Amino acid sequence: MRAPAPTTSGSQPVTRVATILTPEERLRVDAAGEGLYHSIHRDSVDDVVRDVRAARAAAVVLSVSYCERSSSESVAAMVREFPRIPTVALLSELGPRTPQTLLTLGTSGVRRLIDVRDASGWRQLRSTLSDECGNAVQRLALGHLATDLDDASIDCWRFFQALFLSAPAVCTVRRLAASLGVLPSTLMSRFFRAKLPAPKRYLAMARLVRAAHLFENRGFSVANVANHLEYSSPQSFGRHVRTLLHLTALEFRDRYDGAAMFQRFREELVLPHRDTLKRLSPLATPFTKLRRAFDT
C-alpha cells in the first residue's frame, strides 16, 4: 500500500524525491529541501525504480560519488524507462574519476548536473526540483489556457488551475468543489445554466491529460498510472478511458501523449465554449455578484 503524501502546513503535498547519496550529502539534501520536498534515501537504483513505479517518488537525485563506484547501465536503463521523471546528478566533491563519470552520466541520458560545492548550488537544486517535478504537462496546459481565456474571470481561471494543479486525490466534483470553497451543487448548476459541459467532464478529461503524460514513461504500466492518479484499480482506470474515449487503456497509451490529450481537452471543452467561459463566474457567492454589479 502506498504511504500518504507528506504535506506542509498548507494543502499542497510536498514532492517526494528518491535519492542515492553519501551520508553527508543526505543531511545537506534534507536541509535544503525543508518545506519543498521530502527525501527518500535509497542504496540502489533498483530501489529507486521501485519508488518511482509505486508513485512514492516524483524525481531522482543521484550522487556523482555513488556513480563513480557503480555501473552506469542501471542508471541508463532507469532514464530510458522514465524520461519524464527528473533525474539530477549531484556533485559535492571532485575525485580522480569524476570527469569520466560525468561523461558517462551524460551518455546515460542524465541531462541535469548540479554542483553543490557552494551555496548557490543548493538554491539551484531547490529550484530545479520545484520547476521539474511532474509539472511539465500542467505548465503546458495552463500556458495555453491563459491565452485561450485571457480575459476570463478570476473564478473561471481558479477552476481551470484546480483541474491541473490539484493533488490526484481531487478526483470527484465534490472534492474539487471543496478545494475551491463552493458547494458541489452550486458549481454544477452554474455550468448547467451556462449550457457548458458538466464540471465532472472537465475533471475527468484533465485526469486523462495527466495519465497520457505519465504514459510517456515506458516504465509505467497501466497499474502504475492508475496508482499515481489514485484510481481505485487498473480496471477502474480502464473503464474511465473507455467511457470517455471509447478506447482501451492500451489503445489510449498508444494514441495519446500529454500534449495530444491536452489538445483534445481544448478542442472539446474550451475552444467551442470560449466566449461563455469568459463570462462564467462559477465560484462567486450571490453577495459577491451583487457587489460587483454595484461596483460597475
Each residue of 30-87: pLDDT tens digit? 998 887 888 999 999 999 999 999 888 889 999 999 999 888 899 999 999 998 888 9
For residue 56, the model assigns a pLDDT of 87
Whether 130 shows a pLDDT value over 50: the answer reads yes
Q: What is the DSSP string of 195-253?
A: TPPPHHHHHHHHHHHHHHHHTTSTT--HHHHHHHTT-S-HHHHHHHHHHHHS--HHHHH
Cα 160 to its chain centre, rounded Å, is 15
For residue 127, the model assigns a pLDDT of 81
For residue 23, the model assigns a pLDDT of 94
- pLDDT tens across 220-263, in order? 999 999 998 989 999 999 999 999 999 999 999 999 999 999 99
Helix axis angle, 199-214 to 173-180, nearest 10°? 100
In sequence order, which residues have a C-beta less than 8 Å from that of residue 3 and are 6 or more positions away? Answer: 56
Whether 147 shows a pLDDT value over 90: the answer reads yes
Domain with CATH 3.40.50.2300 in the chain: 15-132
In sequence order, which residues have a C-beta less than 8 Å from that of residue 21 and are 6 or more positions away? Answer: 29, 41, 61, 62, 63, 66, 90
Q: Tell me if 81 sits within 8 A of 109, measured CB to CB.
A: no
Between CA 229 and CA 278 the distance in angstroms is 29
Tell me which CATH homologous superfamily contains domain 15-132. Answer: Response regulator (3.40.50.2300)
Q: Tell me if 97 sits within 8 A of 140, measured CB to CB.
A: no
More confident residue, 200 or 123: 200
More confident residue, 290 or 147: 147
For residue 4, the model assigns a pLDDT of 46
- pLDDT tens across 155-181, in order? 999 999 999 988 888 999 999 999 999
Whether 290 shows a pLDDT value over 50: the answer reads no
For residue 265, the model assigns a pLDDT of 97
Confidence at 283, pLDDT banded by 50, 70, 90: confident
For residue 2, the model assigns a pLDDT of 46
Whether 190 shows a pLDDT value over 90: the answer reads yes
Q: What is the pTM of this model?
A: 0.75
For residue 156, the model assigns a pLDDT of 93
Q: Where are the beta strands (DSSP E) in the chain?
A: 15-20, 37-41, 59-63, 87-91, 112-115
Between CA 22 and CA 185 the distance in angstroms is 53
Between CA 56 and CA 50 the distance in angstroms is 8
Longest dimension (CA), the chain: 73
Confidence at 191, pLDDT banded by 50, 70, 90: very high
Query: What mean pLDDT is reported for the chain?
Result: 88
For residue 258, the model assigns a pLDDT of 92
For residue 264, the model assigns a pLDDT of 97
What are 16's strand-pairing partners?
Answer: 38
What mean pLDDT comes out for the span 268-281? 95
| Residues composing the chain | 296
For residue 30, the model assigns a pLDDT of 92
What mean pLDDT comes out for the span 208-221? 92
- pLDDT tens across 92-127, in order? 999 889 999 999 999 999 989 999 998 899 988 988
For residue 285, the model assigns a pLDDT of 59
Q: Tell me if 44 sits within 8 A of 66, measured CB to CB.
A: no
- Hey, what long-range contacts does 2-5 have (CB within 8 A, 24 or more apart)? 2/54, 2/55, 2/56, 2/227, 3/56, 5/167
For residue 170, the model assigns a pLDDT of 92
